[in-house]
Amino acid sequence: MSSIVSSPARTIRIGSRKSQLALVQTYWVQEQLQKHFPDRTFEVHTMSTQGDKILDVPLAKIGDKGLFTKELEQGMLDNDTDLAVHSLKDLPTRLPEGLILGCVTERENPADALVVHEKHKDKQLETLPAGAVVGTSSLRRLAQLRHHFPHLAFKDVRGNLNTRLAKLDAGEYDAIILAVAGLNRLGMSDRVHQIIPPEVSLHAVGQGALGIECRTDDTEVLEILKKVLEHTPTAQRCYAERAFLRELEGGCQVPIGVNTSIEGDTLTLTGLVASLDGQRVIKDTITGATADAEQLGIELAQRLRQQGAKEILEEIFIQVNRSGGLKEVLQEQE
């Protein structure tokens, strides 16, 4: 008599940062996977990343070097974990050899929000008084808001969402800018005071979506991710956005914003590059087939570069590296 013994399905190990937002996102991913594969085990492994530890260096100085992702990536390369859940916005556009963006989940609202101190609860961006201190550590938000509201003052703010909100409530800022998606996911939608429209400020590449990374050769995990978690329209939009950023960026965080939409088989991508003082804004829109998402991103980047983005990016690269980062860039210009 022969017996057929099938080997038990392997346990899938999910890497995550330890921040509250990261955990909410990771447990959501775990739950979706568990629902589709009730007989499998999905384990969460938490890790601290460099970005969670270095809280005193302005992000602009550090740039897009995978500060929030490196340790999670090493976990997969060392075979300690099988996938990693990221806010897609924090995932560099170039991944290490051996790793791949396995899927992109359905996007939350990708816009930024104005969150105000209680004393400004009857105000909007347009009506905040001159000199009001607005907290943001993003060059993208800074440049676009300066362009429209040159009478406001801008100040660096770091730390996780709760830390930033505590600093606002303690009176260190009159208002801060945060992603709507993060606040929604943490059950703090009530702190969204005003959703900033794309005419005022374009959002970051990948904002509001989760990107799940895995080993390039792990076909089993790749199949599971695509089947359970991939949201095709979000993925197409984000592939266009990431190709746009990849084609433009050069070693440090720069004021680059995007907006995308899909209608039928047509994708529309708007991209922007701004100077730090908000004086110069280069913005253009491209439309084409969703199937050519990445090509559209590359083409739009090339167009913006020809329209003057090249000079802006070179200037910022020199400025940020010469000074101590955003904090000093801000002081220099005020």
Ligand X SMILES: NCc1[nH]cc(CCC(=O)O)c1CC(=O)O
- By CB under 6 A, which span of 8-16, 83-91, 125-133, 221-229 interacts with ligand X? 83-91
87 contacts ligand X (rule: CB under 6 A): yes
147 contacts ligand X (rule: CB under 6 A): no
**Is the separation of the CB atoms in 103 and 84 below 8 Å?**
no
90 contacts ligand X (rule: CB under 6 A): yes
How many residues make contact with ligand X (CB under 6 A)?
9
325 contacts ligand X (rule: CB under 6 A): no
Nearer to ligand X, 59 or 320 (CB): 59
Tell me 265's DSSP state: T
The distance of closest approach from Cβ of residue 320 to ligand X in the complex, given in angstroms and rounded to an integer, is 17
Nearer to ligand X, 157 or 243 (CB): 157
Nearer to ligand X, 106 or 284 (CB): 106
253 contacts ligand X (rule: CB under 6 A): no
The distance of closest approach from Cβ of residue 171 to ligand X in the complex, given in angstroms and rounded to an integer, is 20
Q: What CA–CA distance (Å, rounded) separates 158 from 179?
A: 14
Instruction: Choose the catalytic residue: 82, 90, 174, 218.
Output: 90
Q: In 204-251, where does DSSP find H-type helix?
A: 219-228, 232-248
Q: What CA–CA distance (Å, rounded) separates 190 from 247?
A: 37
- By CB under 6 A, which span of 6-14, 86-94, 96-104, 287-295 interacts with ligand X? 86-94
Parallel, antiparallel, or unpaired: how do β-strands 153-155 and 12-17 relate?
unpaired
Distances (CA, A) of 259 to 31, 165, 190, 198: 30, 26, 24, 7
Closest CA to 138 of 108, 182, 185, 187: 182
Strand arrangement of the beta sheet that strand 194-195 belongs to: 153-155, 133-135, 175-179, 112-116, 194-195
Nearer to ligand X, 64 or 82 (CB): 64
SS3 content of the chain, % helix, strand, coil (to 5): 40, 20, 35
The angle subtended at Cα 104 by Cα 99 and Cα 105, nearest 5°, is 140
Q: How many residues does the chain have?
A: 334
Binding track, positions 196-235, relative to ligand X; x by CB under 6 A:
-----------xx---------------------------
Distances (CA, A) of 315 to 145, 226, 275: 19, 40, 8
The distance of closest approach from Cβ of residue 73 to ligand X in the complex, given in angstroms and rounded to an integer, is 17
The distance of closest approach from Cβ of residue 195 to ligand X in the complex, given in angstroms and rounded to an integer, is 13
67 contacts ligand X (rule: CB under 6 A): no
The distance of closest approach from Cβ of residue 51 to ligand X in the complex, given in angstroms and rounded to an integer, is 8
Active site residue 90: yes
Structure tokens at 320: 């940020």
The distance of closest approach from Cβ of residue 97 to ligand X in the complex, given in angstroms and rounded to an integer, is 25
Among 17, 64, 82, 89, binds ligand X (CB under 6 A): 89
Considering only residues 162 to 201 of the shown chain, the ones binding ligand X according to CB under 6 A are 178-179, 181-182
Nearer to ligand X, 114 or 133 (CB): 114
Distances (CA, A) of 260 to 86, 109, 190, 229: 20, 12, 26, 20
The distance of closest approach from Cβ of residue 223 to ligand X in the complex, given in angstroms and rounded to an integer, is 25
Coil vs helix vs strand at 110? coil
Instruction: Note the residues at the interface with ligand X (CB under 6 A).
Output: 87, 89-90, 178-179, 181-182, 207-208
The residues annotated with a catalytic role in the active site are: 90
